[in-house]
Amino acid sequence: MTMNRSLLQAFTVAITLLPALGIGLRLFFEGPGPEPVDDLTHVSGEWGLRFLLLSLAVTPARRFLGWHWTAPLRRTLGLASFGYVAAHLLVWAWLDMGFDPSAILEDILERPYITLGMSAFSLLLVLAVTSTRAWIKRLGARWIKLHKLVYVAGILAILHYFWLIKADYRPAIVHGLILAGLLATRLLLARRRRSPRGSES
């Protein structure tokens, strides 16, 4: 069982690295393209959001489909999401802003979609730092409450995505609908737990 879980974790980590590998190979063989900064920013942010949604899908998969083997993958997928979002932020701060603190701060304060994105990143940073066993033990029951903020981060990320898009809104709509479905499922599960029948099961 331990070996199977280790193999599953290793396979999941490999899967989460595939988008980064794809980006690297594309840059190597095809070159940066006409708008490399925009392309890198978009792709890294989109994969960050995808892995965030996958991490949120673990609980419904366990509760409704009986896929209990997915439980250990939630942290891996969540950290992968944070990694791509951090890369998204790094591309913007480095290649777009030139690591200029005043320009970065001005962008955060004057552009609402940047404000939303930074707010989402700040929440994900806190959740990533406190995802270790030591923090789970230290925070106790408060850890669960804290990590419910992942849904707030998801909503902020979707709003950031919508605000950023200039033409095709369909991908953002699809991601938003998936997040809405996952949030509705989470609320349904919470309601079941609070009901007398749910407390007996």
Q: Which residue do the tokens 């190979």 mark? A: 25
The predicted structure's pLDDT at residue 54: 98
Residue ranges of the chain with per-residue pLDDT less than 70: 1-3, 196-201
The predicted structure's pLDDT at residue 193: 79
Domain assignment of residue 139, given as a range: 2-200
The predicted structure's pLDDT at residue 196: 60
Tell me how many domains the chain contains.
1
How far is residue 83 from each of residues 29, 33, 45, 69, measured CA to CA in Å?
24, 24, 10, 23
Task: Give the DSSP letter string of 122-188.
Answer: HHHHHHHHTTSHHHHHHHTHHHHHHHTHHHHHHHHHHHHHHHH-SS--HHHHHHHHHHHHHHHHHHH
pTM score: 0.92
CB count within 10 Å of CB 194 equals 9
Amino acid identity, position 5: R
